[in-house]
Amino acid sequence: MITRKLYWADAYRRHFTAGVLHIATGDHPHIILNRSLFYPTGGGQPHDTGTLDEARVLDVIALDDAILHIVDHLPARSDDLHGRIDWQRRWDHMQQHSGQHLLSAVCETHLQRPTIGFHLSEQSLTIDLPGPAPTEAELAEIMAHTQAIIHEDRPIRSHIFSPQQALALDLRKTPDVHGPVRIVEIEGTDRCACGGTHVRSTAAIGSIVITKVERRGDQTRLHFVCGNRAVDDHLRLLAVTQRLGDQLTTGLDALPAAVASLQSDLQQAQRSLRNAQNQLAQNTAVALWSNAPRLQDIRLIRHALDDADPKSLGRLAGQLTAQGNCIALLAWQGPRPRWMIARSVDVAFDLTRLTPLIRAQQAVKGGGSAHTLQGGASSSQTLQELFDILTQYLTEHLSA
């Protein structure tokens, strides 16, 4: 079965009638027509969607010389069908795909780098080039040159050649088919074997904007947008930058400076906060240390913190042990309680002696070294119960 490719004759046609060659029922009903405007997935370009009579065309697949139209259900008629393609989707594919031809051609002439990969989907458009990322100057030059060719409104045409004729042409991309070859030409710029659909002239590409340069091993992936996608992308960026500008009460050009100023203010505020927290921890430590009961020369300090920051536990432990001659049992009573036990360096008691008592408590987890132990607990109450046991143990063993 052979389906004549109407999209090759006129890529701007949106509807057609065609005779049915084959209809398949079952879970994935599909139809083969004697001619079709529906482009099947291939050559990096996604398939068209649309309708055949009242049926939705969900997927289009090339199988040898036939084109399979996968439909949501079979149409009522089985003679001539009326087909209509979703033009917005097709136009988008034509703009992006034609833009890809132009960008690939300019990358080849200006960077001497062939396109070794091409990907087009609803969300993204990329080409892969060998070698490291182009410099900013090279990218700017490529975009300026593609834009100049777009403005020159150069015709984009296709011709069918025999394989021998095709070999004699100076092609950017050589064909991998054995029969007649379809060559797509951007006048004076590019010739390339391609079975896709394209706009009539470079002006219809509208614009090409490289949006991202991605390193992939020893290759570079260029992400870009053409035509309507470039406009949509611009509007999206505009919405984001306007919102940021409103929040920071500044214009677009002043945004980087405004963000830098915010970052500087934030760092200053964080420094001030840290200083205040350390000062608070030091004052608390001095008070706790002075009022703690003594076991021989060692002060046994027990304290529960209920501020918002679990880091306050480490800060207070540091300030307490700096006072010398003490062991501190500290609890942080947040939503997930934490604890820390620390001793000053001048106390000879090895804190790991407490670990068997801690492990005996099912609801408490943690461990550590001879001078610091820490962990979490399922509730503040289980933590206080543990601290009661440890206080008793320490009282007995330090008093001896």
Question: Using CB under 5 A as the criterion, which residues of the chain lie in contact with Zn ion when the complex forms?
Answer: 194, 196
Nearest to Zn ion of 194, 354 (CB atom): 194
Residue 293 in tokens: 């009961």
Nearest to Zn ion of 117, 293 (CB atom): 117
CB of 184 to Zn ion, least distance (A): 5
Are 295 and 398 spatial neighbours (Cβ–Cβ below 8 Å)? Answer: yes
Whole-angstrom CA distances from 34 to 23, 40, 52, 307, 369 are 12, 15, 13, 77, 81
CB of 45 to Zn ion, least distance (A): 7
- The residue at minimum Cβ distance from Zn ion is 194
CB atoms within 10 A of CB 176: 7
CB of 160 to Zn ion, least distance (A): 14
Nearest to Zn ion of 44, 50 (CB atom): 44
CB of 41 to Zn ion, least distance (A): 14
3-state SS assignment for residue 270: helix
3-state SS assignment for residue 2: coil
Nearest to Zn ion of 73, 157 (CB atom): 157
- Amino acid (1-letter code) at residue 47: H
CB of 43 to Zn ion, least distance (A): 6
CB of 196 to Zn ion, least distance (A): 4
Are 75 and 56 spatial neighbours (Cβ–Cβ below 8 Å)? Answer: no
Nearest to Zn ion of 50, 196 (CB atom): 196
Are 61 and 24 spatial neighbours (Cβ–Cβ below 8 Å)? Answer: no
CB of 161 to Zn ion, least distance (A): 15
Nearest to Zn ion of 194, 204 (CB atom): 194
DSSP string spanning 24-78? E-SSS-EEEESEE-PPPSBTTBPPP-EEETTEEEEEEEEETTEEEEEESS--S--
Nearest to Zn ion of 134, 196 (CB atom): 196
Give the single-character DSSP code of 189: T
Are 324 and 364 spatial neighbours (Cβ–Cβ below 8 Å)? Answer: no
